[in-house]
Amino acid sequence: MRICYISSEVAPLAKTGGLADVAGALPADLQRRGHDIRLFMPYYPQVTGPLELRPIAAATDVAVQCGPHELRFNLLQTKLPGTLLDIYLIDCPALYDRPALYTLDPDEHLRFLLLQRAALECCQRLQFAPQIIHCNDWHAALVPLLLKTVYGWDRLFAGTRTLLTIHNIGYQGIFPASTANTLNLGASLSLLDAADLANGQINWLKNGIVHADRVSTVSPTYAREICTPAGGYGLDAALRARSHPVAGILNGVDYSQWNPATDAFLDYHFSEQDLSGKRRVKAKVLRTSDDATLDLPLIGVVSRMTVQKGFDLLFDTLPGILAQRQLHFFALGSGDAPYENFFASLQQAFPDRVTFIRGYNERLGHMIEAGSDLFLMPSLYEPCGLNQLYSLKYGTVPIVRRTGGLADSVQMWDPATRRGTGVVFNDFDANGVRWAIETALDLFQDKSAWRTLIANGMAQDFSWEHQGGEYEQLYKELLAQEPA
């Protein structure tokens, strides 16, 4: 199959979250399956490293008219590090040369409109007729509409089907209605949602949900949750109105990056047979070689600090647990002030046992995954979640709330059958998280149960070799389907 894959971030080139991990792994897996896949992303200044960038002559100084704005870009090609996959970078410093991948700047809509227009323009100039255009999140959600309108004349796209994958429905790309003129829709302006326009806005993700041939998301449970008023963030009705149900495909893990036996970020390696390296990593994380300290359980957190991640539940629980029980807690992340302030004050209250590092640090993220005994994800909602999958592989027992992909990937430990891979709580409240953390700390004391629990988790396989096949199947179904 010929596939065009569009993502606003791709690991390891530029990453803020799980989308980059997926975009950096799934396309490479699809290529290994023999598909011709072209990956497009913006050329941010954050993309660094020893890359061999090749300008593509057929797409040099391309002008794209977006309403009153003439945007110009160059196309650069390189290999995605560690793969044989060609990645195309849209080079437009005027739009992408910013301190962060995402901004609140007034031209944010133009930044990602260009990504989509440029990907389609490049398909034309490369004479690449995609059978599938795989659009990820709101940054690429206008492609289905653009194909029906601005590019409707071009037979190159006559056989193209579109798949929109929602990695997080909390982010929708909502812009003022006044930006409609940048879309060049002409008489097709009526294809925009009239109620939204009347409210003065355009919702890109909703637009994609309406116009894509198929919609998918990143776990089966989240696929059901986003079709309900509680989980749909206002888009559940649009999702329910579609003729095909939302497909839910759990994300895979790139075990070439996330494997405790080979992880390039770790000084010590380990496996299920020999966990001694795990204790050495823990010693490094905690900066100690004291055995009594290393015998205490370490709970890790690596996360964006937003309301989605459920840390509110810790405000009234974690200080009490730390006061009563012997454990270490290590959090890495940045985001909204209430969470950063909470973890900072926790560190002040328990300086010997709590560490909070504010920021984004890939290496430390790997070390915390590897060195912790437990990994805490009390999410309010979690489309897929990757850290619980990494945790399982690293012999780090996940404590998760039963939501989205967490529900699909972590099974509650059952002492009777000795099955299960973690500790799972149901209700999003303080009692739920307190019960889960205390249950996990008790389990840690039961060395025989703990050994089995770790082994169960390390034996799980969430590799892309398996999950990629599900996308391949979905693409095949799409090709057999009449356009939406």
Task: Find out whether 22 and 159 touch, Cβ atoms under 8 Å.
Answer: no
Shortest Å distance, C-beta 330 to ligand ADP: 12
In whole angstroms, give the CA distance from residue 168 to residue 308: 10
Map the footprint of ligand ADP across residues 167-186, applying CB under 6 A.
Answer: 168
Contact between 18 and ligand ADP per CB under 6 A? yes
Contact between 384 and ligand ADP per CB under 6 A? yes
From the list 42, 173, 365, 432, which residue makes contact with ligand ADP (rule: CB under 6 A)? Answer: 365
Distances from the Cα of 12 to the Cαs of 25, 32, 160, 393, 432, in angstroms? 10, 19, 29, 20, 36
Q: What angle do CA 394, 396, 401 make, to 5 degrees?
A: 125
Contact pattern from residue 334 through residue 353 relative to ligand ADP, giving x for each residue in contact according to CB under 6 A and a dash for the rest: x-------------------
Map the footprint of ligand ADP across residues 303-322, applying CB under 6 A.
Answer: 303-304
Candidate segments 15-23, 186-194, 269-277, 428-436, binder of ligand ADP by CB under 6 A:
15-23
Candidate segments 114-122, 135-143, 300-308, 459-467, binder of ligand ADP by CB under 6 A:
300-308
Contact between 21 and ligand ADP per CB under 6 A? yes
Residues 6+ apart with CB under 8 A from 79: 52, 85, 86, 87
Residues 6+ apart with CB under 8 A from 99: none
Shortest Å distance, C-beta 287 to ligand ADP: 18
- The residue whose two tokens read 């900066």 is 287
In whole angstroms, give the CA distance from residue 143 to residue 146: 5
Shortest Å distance, C-beta 334 to ligand ADP: 6
Nearest residue to ligand ADP, by Cβ distance, number only? 18
Q: Which is nearer to ligand ADP, 222 or 268 (CB)?
A: 222
Shortest Å distance, C-beta 288 to ligand ADP: 22
Q: Which is nearer to ligand ADP, 227 or 400 (CB)?
A: 400
Shortest Å distance, C-beta 379 to ligand ADP: 9
Q: Which is nearer to ligand ADP, 162 or 388 (CB)?
A: 388
Q: Identify the sign of the CA torsion 446, 451, 452, 457.
A: positive
Candidate segments 97-105, 291-299, 302-310, 469-477, binder of ligand ADP by CB under 6 A:
302-310
| Gyration radius of the chain over CA positions | 23
Contact between 17 and ligand ADP per CB under 6 A? yes
Residues 6+ apart with CB under 8 A from 451: none
- The residue whose two tokens read 């039963």 is 402
Contact between 332 and ligand ADP per CB under 6 A? yes
Shortest Å distance, C-beta 7 to ligand ADP: 12
Contact between 362 and ligand ADP per CB under 6 A? yes
Candidate segments 96-104, 236-244, 356-364, 426-434, binder of ligand ADP by CB under 6 A:
356-364
The contact set with ligand ADP (CB under 6 A) reads: 17-18, 21, 168, 302-304, 332-334, 360-362, 365, 384-387
